[in-house]
Homo-oligomer: A and B are copies of this chain.
């Protein structure tokens, strides 16, 4: 089991930001990534549908005998993790708790903003995690449904993003937060527009780095760290839609090209 792969799933391509951090943190670990590109997005859908899709994604990864599952999707983490980790015996972590932890460590004035998909924000998952760390912290949340399509359209650097950012983030700016959680794997690609709108003093927290660290700790605690000799670990990419578009945009999230991805007919 120690030499089994880590499983990572996301609603699409955004979870590759987590894979990037994982390969940096643990270069010897094999990874199986599943992106549910046929049914993306999750963040506009209902909790029951997000749960159903999340269960199917876990079952798919378990076919690959994974030793740990990382839910790289904020929406799935927010809605799915609480019951998935009860249902399944494989260790599982999401991106919410690591992101919340990083934000709690970052804030000086005790005022944190959270942005994400409608499903993530409605779930109050970040709020609950932050308050579990420190109940005195005030949390202000806002869903930003157009951010994902804007990134997917390749308009991340365009002036239209500034307009959307102003519409969504103005209420948070007024709350004088000093830290904002980018609660969706697509949002780090909009960092400059978000920073411009919020002002230089506000710190942007991206869960991916913290999640990779938590994954490393968990593997060590459970005695599941790769124990073989030095090797070039493999990352296997699987998707539910045709791989073409995934391969085309993967670099933006992973930082390097993905050469092949396997289309999974039935998740």
What is A's interface to B at a CB cutoff of 8 Å?
37-39, 44-49, 145-146, 148-150, 152-153, 155, 159-160, 163-164, 167, 240-242, 244-245
Contact = CB atoms under 8 A, between A and B. Distances in A.
B39 A242 contact: no
Assembly of this chain: how many copies?
2
Given A38-B39, A39-B38, A241-B49, A44 B160 contact: no
Contacts of A240: 49
A151 B152 CA distance: 17
Contact of A149 (B37, B46, B145, B167): B145
**Most chain B CB atoms below 10 A, which of A37, A44, A155, A242:** A44
A145 B7 CA distance: 31
Nearest to A155: B146
A152 B160 contact: no
A242 B167 CA distance: 28
Contacts of A44: 152, 245
Contacts of A153: 145-146
Lowest 10 CB-CB distances: which A-B pairs, in order? A46-B242, A149-B149, A38-B49, A49-B241, A39-B39, A45-B241, A46-B241, A145-B153, A160-B163, A146-B153
**Most chain B CB atoms below 10 A, which of A146, A152, A159, A245:** A146
A57 to B, nearest CB: 14
6 contacts: A38-B45, A46-B241, A46-B242, A49-B240, A146-B153, A160-B163
**Most chain B CB atoms below 10 A, which of A47, A152, A153:** A153
A48 B39 CA distance: 13
A244 B152 CA distance: 26
A41 to B, nearest CB: 8
A83 to B, nearest CB: 17
A172 B193 CA distance: 29
Nearest to A148: B149
A146 to B, nearest CB: 5
Contacts of A159: 163
B163 A152 contact: no
Nearest to A154: B145
Contacts of A37: 45
Contacts of A39: 38-39
A260 to B, nearest CB: 16
